Structure 1
Amino acid sequence: MTKEIESGLVINLINLQNKIQKRVGGALSVHGIGLSDYLVLNQLYSAPSEKMRRSDLAERVGLSPSGVTRLLNPMQKIGLVEKEANPRDARISLVALSITGKKVYEEARVSFEHASATLLDPLGAEKRSTLSELLKVVLKV
């Protein structure tokens, strides 16, 4: 692959990321959350006992530990997440999904899934599957 093709591909992926953020973010805004908030709620919803260490959460959503703390503070203030002490280690705090956070996530998930389907619909099922497999290789999932 030539450098121009590789550079163009990366630019197209960045443009796709921007399009995802606008479309999906817009769909989530009716629930009072943004895309980063949704990603945090998604991780907590899927976690055992719906709680995680902040450091693990930061890694899973692609933020620094301080970045996830800045994101979590307003989420905690509006009742989407709760801070819990770790019974095994007082130095480590846990982030837990609140009852309100779980409800908001479940409602927002419908909007997220609809926006995702609408965004990728022009590809058709076979191309969506191929794109998914190619991204797994690049992301090493």
Structure 2
Amino acid sequence: MNDVKEPGPDHIMALLGYLMDGLRRDVLAATRATASERSVPPVLRDLRFSHIRMLSLTPPDGMRVSDLAERIGMTKQALGEFATALEGLGLMESVRDPADRRVRIVRPTALGRTVVDASAGLITEVEAAWRDRVGARNWDRLRDLLAAAVAKGG
């Protein structure tokens, strides 16, 4: 039986996954630790990272469900479920497109935009901690390489 502490695969997909898991863990820990200490909306403590990501990728003026699903990389049905959950928390609202009443537009509410701003601040803090942990030069190079990879084909 394998020990949990044994290193896993070291291919790029695994390494990026480990990095994302660590960043998510630290952002969620910061979210829960600071929600009561700052002007962070309490609802932020109860969100999953995927909810925060969806809110942050939704333009303030809104976007068609199908277009947002493509942007985020989800099915339209899954995105609709996420949107409904966020609507229930008062973070997102759904309206009909005036140009085509069959089309649903989702957009963050004022509270949703506040959550996006608060989570962006926490992400910046977590990134700064990771930058300190691995060294500024290494972190900056990693960011530059990831940005270049995304620009070339991501």
Give TM-score scaled by structure 2 length: 0.74
Aligned-pair CA distance for 1:134: 1.8
Q: Distance in 1 between matches of 2:86 and 2:98?
A: 23
State the aligned residue count.
Answer: 133
Which of residues 39, 64, 80 in structure 1 aligns to 2:53? 39
Aligned-pair CA distance for 1:70: 1.7
Partner of residue 91, structure 1: 102
User: Per-residue displacement from partner, 1:65-93 (whole Å, max 9, x unpaired)?
Assistant: 12211211110011100001101111211
Aligned-pair CA distance for 1:35: 1.2
Aligned-pair CA distance for 1:61: 2.1
Partner of residue 8, structure 1: 11
Which structure has more helix as a fraction of its residues? Answer: 1
Gaps of 5+ in 1: 1-5
Task: From the superposition, tell whether residues 64 and 27 of structure 1 become closer, same or farther in structure 2 (CA, over 3 Å).
Answer: farther
User: Per-residue displacement from partner, 1:11-69 (whole Å, max 9, x unpaired)?
Assistant: 2222112212211233334423221111122122xx2x531111222222222212211
**Could you tell me the percent identity over the aligned residues?**
23
Q: Distance in 2 between matches of 1:39 and 1:97?
A: 12
Q: Secondary structure of 2:47's partner?
A: coil
Q: Which has the higher contact order (CA 8 A, sep 6+)?
A: 1
Look up the equivalent residue of 1:9 and give its one-letter code: I
Name the Cα RMSD after superposition. 2.2
Task: From the superposition, tell whether residues 26 and 11 of structure 1 become closer, same or farther in structure 2 (CA, over 3 Å).
Answer: same
Gaps of 5+ in 2: 1-8, 36-43
